[in-house]
């Protein structure tokens, strides 16, 4: 059995209806380009602009500190190159099972697999 698809052209009725769909697509594309060119991301950032992440010594807690300020007592900077940037990224997941002890060594958190 040979079935040949048939192409039907229909009038959409009004020209305004035909213009609306491409304009919606253009709006979405423009918003996407704007996000990419400004460095905006759909991922949740670990800290806001002008801040950097720190972690609690001896546990998996974390906080954000304003750039130019030192971490509060009981907190330490993440090791260089191992800072989480976004929630759920490689380093965010790593630091859920690891911490830095009072000697500055990276250790596995007890109870984590």
| Closest by CA position to 74, among listed 51, 55, 47, 99 | 55
- Summarize pLDDT for 51-65 with one digit per residue, the tens: 999 999 999 999 999
Question: What are the pLDDT digits (tens) for 10-52?
Answer: 545 554 445 455 555 545 555 544 444 445 555 799 999 999 9
């Amino acid at each position: 059995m040979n079935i040949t698809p048939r192409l039907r052209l229909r009038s959409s009725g009004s020209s305004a209806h035909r213009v609306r769909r491409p304009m919606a697509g253009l709006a979405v594309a423009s918003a996407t380009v704007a996000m990419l060119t400004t460095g905006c991301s759909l991922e949740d950032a670990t800290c806001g602009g002008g801040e950097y992440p720190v972690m609690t010594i001896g546990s998996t807690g974390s906080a954000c500190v304003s750039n130019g300020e030192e971490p509060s007592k009981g907190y330490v900077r993440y090791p260089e190159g191992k800072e989480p940037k976004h929630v759920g990224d490689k380093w965010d997941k790593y630091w859920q099972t690891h911490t830095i002890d009072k000697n500055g060594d990276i250790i596995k958190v007890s109870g984590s697999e």
